Amino acid sequence: MHAAIVLLVLVLTYLGMAAGRIAWLRVDRTGIALLAVIALLASSQMTLDDFGSAVDMPTLALLFAMMIISAQFAESGFIDLCARTIINWGGGTAGLLAITVAIGGALSAVLGNEILIITIAPLLIAGAQSRGFDPRPFAIALAAATNAGSAATLIGNPQNIVLGAIGHLDFWTFLAINGVPALFALFVVFAVVWLQWRRRIRDAIPPEGREPVPVTAHPLDRNQMIKGVVALIALLILFSTSLPREIGALIIAALLLANRKITSRTMIAAVDWPLLLLVACLFAITGALNDAALAARALGFLDEYGLLPNNLLLLVPFAVVTSNAIGSLPSAMLVLQIWPTPSAGVLYSLALLSTLAGNLLLSGSLTNLLIAEQADRIGAHLSYRDHARAGIPIAVLSLGFAVFWLAITQTLPITPPPPPPVQP
């Protein structure tokens, strides 16, 4: 009965995440995960002690610290400066689109995506409107470039952080393997968006009589900006030492919180607490699989029938379907719970493929949805069709190169490895 209840709660949780939210309630993925944990607690299938022991605190600590570091860049006005650099670009429209992709991809590789998007997207979209451009291609380019750029590093997005922390992946090895496909994906983003939207971008129409949409902007504080850059460089240096990543990141975050200009309340308020709660709840829900002995049974079944995604033939469709159905983060955590000892090659590949697959549909990643939400607020509606028109070819081309790269670098085989020889 215990196993049946745990399995039912797990299935309902992931079905709810696939639906995005319960149809007749305004419940998002974090709310669904929290309701699932409460259901396990209320039915005595889990205790609060079980919840605490299931949560991987180093992972949460690293996520929290990276959000604080990202908040420093936002509050110092650095991200606003990047947005103004894009909008005030004096070259041709191709260069304007190229710099949008370049800045979005570069920032997403080292900063928290939600803080980045909430800060830069309204400025970019409103700026495009003020110059008479159709803001949709810039919104699509920013979303796709953010997904592509975040695939390059271990701290680029939450699923990379979780996979890296649980799998003890090396930061620089991760960059060496995933950096090239991520860079190729950025070129694909530019090429696809330019080919599809070049006429809209070229034919700017002066916005006569249109009232500019007010957006929140942060004044540039050069000292705080330099402080953030130094902190980020120091963090990357610490990643090369034996100091645990989460400890190094927390030290840097603590130094940034001790600030004379930006209050700690402002920095802490910028933290994406719902995301941290989602990760904690998913640790508890998937951890219940082990307590009910369901994870071991699932692993045994997959192994017996050759269904473990230890090859590109199985991992690619898994990453594409799950990232667009339930999200890259929940699917990554489920894999780690059922299969606690995957090879490093599987983890590098899963991080890359699931992130790039997020460009397929508007609902494929939280980044896409955040940018669409910001665009709607400013009056530039971005539909599923608009996004899919560019997102599908971007995802297909970038995933195709990623598979080629992972295969030639022998990160992961294309087909399932042969079974070990039977001992006489």
For 5-50, what is each residue's pLDDT tens digit?
A: 888 888 888 888 777 655 556 778 888 899 999 999 998 888 999 8
Residue 24 has what pLDDT?
55
Across the chain, how many H-helices and E-strands are there?
A: 20, 0
∠ CA 274-8-317 to the nearest 5 degrees? Answer: 70
pTM assigned to the model? 0.89
Using DSSP, state whether 42 is helix, strand or coil.
helix
HEC profile for 375-423? HHHHCCCCCHHHHHHHHHHHHHHHHHHHHHHHHHCCCCCCCCCCCCCCC
Query: Tell me, what's the pLDDT at 305?
Result: 84
**Residue 180 backbone phi and psi in degrees, to 5:** -65, -50
What is the pLDDT at residue 133? 84
Residues in the chain: 424
pLDDT of residue 207: 56
pLDDT at 349: 96
pLDDT value at residue 219: 86
Pair 310, 417: CB distance under 8 Å: yes
pLDDT of residue 145: 96
User: Which residues of the chain carry a pLDDT beneath 50?
Assistant: none
**Whole-angstrom distance between the N-terminal and C-terminal Cα of the chain?**
42
Return phi, psi of residue 88, to 5°: -90, 10
pLDDT of 5 reads 86
Question: pLDDT at position 420, please?
Answer: 61
